[in-house]
Amino acid sequence: MEKGALVRLKSLLLQAFSGFDPRLGLIFLVLALISFFVFLSAGQGTPVAVLDQTRNLLIAFMIMWLVSQIPPKWLEMAAVWIYGIGIALLIAVAIFGLVKKGARRWVNVGIVIQPSEIMKIAVPLMLAWYFQKREGIRSGFDYLVAALLLALPVFLIARQPDLGTSLLVLASGLYVIILAGLPWRWIIPVVAIGGIAILLLIVFSGSICAPDVNWPLIREYQKNRICTLLDPSSDPLGKGFHTIQAVIAVGSGGFFGKGWREGTQSHLEFIPEKHTDFVFAVYAEEFGFLGNVLLILLFFALIKRGLAISVNAPTLFTRLLGGAISMIFFTYAFVNIGMVTGLLPVVGVPLPLLSYGGTALVTLGFGAGILMSIHRHRRLVQS
């Protein structure tokens, strides 16, 4: 009797966790552990934040597990709905959103959420769905439709204003479009123009960063962020403070780091946003080059696994979706670390799993869950 119950329990557990891709799950678990320990350090003095982050991590795992149980077919069916709800929420934000720190990004629907975060998954879902629909009959016109589907949320998010998130959403959509087979002859000119624009920006930074020059389409603070990146020392106590202090924190970490909870830059409040966007500075200061290489390897492994799953996925939808999600993970990690180390401008991009922020974690859990689901259901769909 007892033995039977145990066996049943075992099979139940096996079934429950069969959705978990062990490799992906393991990487996530290690990252979550790192996140937890960094948080115990970065959140020193704010026990609420530590509890919150722990809770959010657990929720992210739950969602990952839940989503991994969902067959990709369902996602495909839900794509339009999710996208539609996301857009509706974005419009709601624009009309009666909550304003914090000068930006209208949040909306209260019982709980306060940030709909732009949803779009990070909703956009690739939608575009993947669209390209799946048009499989075999695709023409140049489809790329235009995809571009419009992408442009709408990007525009709505950009005017919140939230340049960072809108760029991420744009990137997630572009990944789908590129993976869908956008010809290289279309991609290269765009990349070239972008590269030239950045070069021009650097060369003319002196004149265009003058305080009375207004840039079209870009808010004052965003202009400042870009200008500060070009020359952080121009304003060491103001706009450049974030970057300079973060770089000092990273650099002073050295090879082995200062040790857990021993970071002076972070604990003496020199690092702004140390729980959120700049959490990498805390990590880098305390765990050094060694810890950083480990972290980057983990992300690399995560993305590699994600792309491997995508390549082996059965349908165009799952291939596109999996590829885009993997590349979003990459973008987050790269842009965030690049920003903290002073390579990229300060745009509000969290570091996957390490940065504090419920919605972002949920979105990540969702993304990881989708990857697992794709992996789990690869044969089911084929058969």
Residues of this chain that bind other proteins (CB under 8 A): 237, 245, 247-255, 264-265, 268-270, 284, 288-289, 292-293, 296, 299-300, 303-304, 307, 327, 330, 333-334, 337-338, 341, 343
Compute the least distance from the CB of residue 121 to other proteins, in Å.
20
Shortest CA distance to 223 belongs to which of 174, 266, 161?
Answer: 161
If the CB atoms of residues 97 and 322 are measured against other proteins, the closer one turns out to be 322
Compute the least distance from the CB of residue 281 to other proteins, in Å.
11
Q: ∠ CA 285-286-289 to the nearest 5 degrees? A: 65
End-to-end CA distance of the chain: 37
Rg (CA), the chain: 22
Compute the least distance from the CB of residue 199 to other proteins, in Å.
17
In this structure, is the dihedral angle defined by the CA atoms of residues 13, 19, 24 and 29, taken in order, positive or negative? negative
If the CB atoms of residues 76 and 277 are measured against other proteins, the closer one turns out to be 277
Shortest CA distance to 282 belongs to which of 294, 266, 262?
Answer: 266
Strands (DSSP E) found in 49-124: 98-100, 103-109, 111-113
31 is written with which tokens? 């990252």
The full DSSP string for 169-212 is: HHHHHHHHHHHTT--HHHHHHHHHHHHHHHHHHHHTHHHHTSTT
Compute the least distance from the CB of residue 331 to other proteins, in Å.
9
If the CB atoms of residues 76 and 285 are measured against other proteins, the closer one turns out to be 285
If the CB atoms of residues 209 and 303 are measured against other proteins, the closer one turns out to be 303
Compute the least distance from the CB of residue 204 to other proteins, in Å.
24
If the CB atoms of residues 253 and 357 are measured against other proteins, the closer one turns out to be 253
If the CB atoms of residues 11 and 312 are measured against other proteins, the closer one turns out to be 312
Cβ-count burial of 381 within 10 angstroms (0-12 exposed, 13-18 middle, 19+ buried)?
middle
Compute the least distance from the CB of residue 20 to other proteins, in Å.
24
Cβ-count burial of 203 within 10 angstroms (0-12 exposed, 13-18 middle, 19+ buried)?
exposed
